[in-house]
Every structure is written in structure tokens, then in C-alpha cells.
Amino acid sequence: MAEPITLTVARRLSVAPMMACTDRHARYLMRLISRRTLLYTEMVSTGALLHGDAARHLARAPQEQPVALQLGGNEPGAMAQSAALGNRAGYDEINMNVGCPSPRVKAGCFGAALMAEPDLVARCVAAMRTDSDVPVTVKTRIGIDDLDSYSRLRHFIETVAAAGCQTFIIHARKAWLNGLSPRENREIPPLRYDVVDRLCEDYPELGFVLNGGIASLAEAAAHIDRVGAAMIGRAAYASPYLLAEADGRVHGAPGAPPDRAEVVRAYHAYARDAFAKGVPLPPLMKPLLGLFHGVDGARHWRRELSQGTYTAKATPDLFIRALERVECVQSNVRDWRDERVSGKSQRGA
């Protein structure tokens, strides 16, 4: 297989755009854990930007960089205007959504449905590039419905690449626009990593980012070694601390990652400031729920946050109290394990 193109360091590992997940609070938390992983916004429709509260949709902290804006739409002029807004707001990349299979997105004739209209996608990309001086990329599936042959995918890639798109993020599943829910479309169509491998071989001059079904940093690293870049989705939101080793393992950056307690304390400072400016506590709490996933005290952490957030007069100080509870549980578990080891040693003597 041909050597994959060398992508920018920031794009070697990324976290997927996820509706109701990758908001600015989640991105801030992930950035505390990994300084170099590329983050994506939730998909923002052109209508929301051009006819709604653009400032709210584009809001981000400077610390989030590198961060990309994902746009949803199908009209070249509107895509160009929206890309220009994202460019002025300081986003490092503008991405076009050609992969979302939700009924609402399908009804608007964008997202995955656009795989059937490569010429229209190409016109959107060309328009976006005229009003943006940052990379314009496309996130897509490997096919939709019965339009899932490799020759159709090649035609899509070639048509859009001719308009100036040099990087394609490929969710390595087809999408069924009828009959499957968005969640089912993330799980039921089989993963076809071989299709992405084949694209890398056929188009070594382009950059491809493999997405879909990646559940750990180790899996992502294996795909990066083979393809050049990988994007983690829901696993990174459910367990954000899996990104802790990313800077060293994927990007070769020196230094130890922050521990979970350091992350909580840094995020607490951010949350206190946001809370004082009127941000409600629930959206600030939500990204934290999976921080201790897989370690002692995880159940206590989730319970403390879930129950405490909705009590009267709750503030971000709840996060510190929950951390103290987890640290107490972890200390007790260590003592219990030490006693067991000590007891076994004495019996062995």
C-alpha cells in the first residue's frame, strides 16, 4: 500500500463532531486533558449562523485551539458566508458535514444525503474556500442506501477533491437514510476499514482521516500508523481521560499528562467563571460525568454530580466536593488492598 500523506500534527488525532456532546464546555475539558488533539464543534447549520444567534453558536474559549467548525448546509452561497464567519471567529478548519443521517438533516437535504450529489458538494467546497484562509474539509460516509459501490465513492472523492478539498474524514460505514435511526446508523452498518485503506492507496496525494468504531487510544494509534490519521467519536465523550496519553503517544510531545484531580480543579476554575456569567450548572457538569470511567470511585463520582447538580443553590464547587469523595473512596480501596497483600504475606511466612 502507498505511504499515506503526512498530515498536519494537529490532525493526526481528533475528536469527532457530535450533536449535544461536543459543545464548548466539553471541548474545554478535553483540551485540559490533551493539548494537541484536534477538536470539532457540534454541527452548526448555515441557517443557525446566518439567521440566528451566530455569536452564541461560534462561541469558544481561546484555549480550545486547535478546534474546527463543522457546518451543515447545501447552498454554496450560504456555506461560503458561514465559512467566512467561522474563519473570522478564529477556527482552525472549516468542515462540511456530508455524513449525518438524521431525519431532520435529511429533510433539509444536507448531511449524508449529499453523497448522492457530489457536484453540489464540490460547489459548496469551492465557495467555502473563496471566503476562508483555513483548510476546508469534508466528513462523509462510504456510501448511502444502495449507492454504496466503491466506484461511486471514488467519483465522490474525485469530484470534491477537484474543487479543492484535500482532506476527507471518512466514517467507515454506509448510512441508511430510511429505516435506521442515527444511533442505529452508528452501530448496525458494518465497519469497512478496508475501504479507507483502499482510498489511501488510490489517492496518496490526499489526506484521509479514519472514523468509526474506535474505542480506545490504542485502536486510534493503530489506525494512525496505517492510514495517517484517526478520529475518535463517542468513546472520547463517554471517557474523556482516554485522551490523556494522546500528546505523548500520538504527537510525540514530552511531559506527563495531568491526572484527573488536576483536570477537575482546572475545569472547576473555568466552570466558576462561566457560572458567574450565567451559564447553568447542568451543561457545565455533563462533560465531567465520564472522567473517572473505569477507575475506583467512578460510580460515586457520577452519583455525586448527577444528584448534586439539580439541588437548590448548587454551584461548580460541587465538582470539588465530588472529587474529594472520589479521593476518599480511592484511599479506602488502596488501604483495603494493602491489608490484603499484607495478610497474604504474613500467611505465606
Amino acid, res. 196? V
Residues 281 and 65: their CA atoms lie apart, in Å, by 24
Encode burial over 304-331: b for 16+ CB neighbours within 10 A, e otherwise.
bbeebbeeeebebebbeebbebbeebbe
> What is the reported pLDDT for 1?
34
> What is the reported pLDDT for 4?
46
Cell of 320: 470539588
> What is the reported pLDDT for 334?
84
21: annotated active-site residue: no
Pick the catalytic residue from 100, 124, 165, 200. 100
φ/ψ region of 310 (left if φ > 0, alpha if ψ in -120 to 50, else beta) reads alpha
Tens of pLDDT along the chain (349 residues) come to 334 444 554 789 999 999 999 999 999 999 999 999 999 999 999 999 999 999 999 999 999 999 999 999 999 999 999 999 999 999 999 999 999 998 766 556 789 999 999 999 999 999 999 978 899 999 999 999 999 999 999 999 999 999 999 999 999 999 999 889 999 999 999 999 999 999 999 999 999 999 999 999 999 999 999 999 999 999 999 999 999 999 999 999 999 999 999 999 999 999 999 999 999 999 999 999 999 999 999 999 999 999 999 999 999 999 999 999 999 999 998 878 777 766 665 666 5
Residues 261 and 241: their CA atoms lie apart, in Å, by 11
> What is the reported pLDDT for 108?
65
Question: Quick one: 337 exposed, middle or buried, by C-beta within 10 A (0-12, 13-18, 19+)?
Answer: exposed
Amino acid, res. 331? S
Cα of 217 vs its chain's centroid, Å: 13
> What is the reported pLDDT for 10?
76
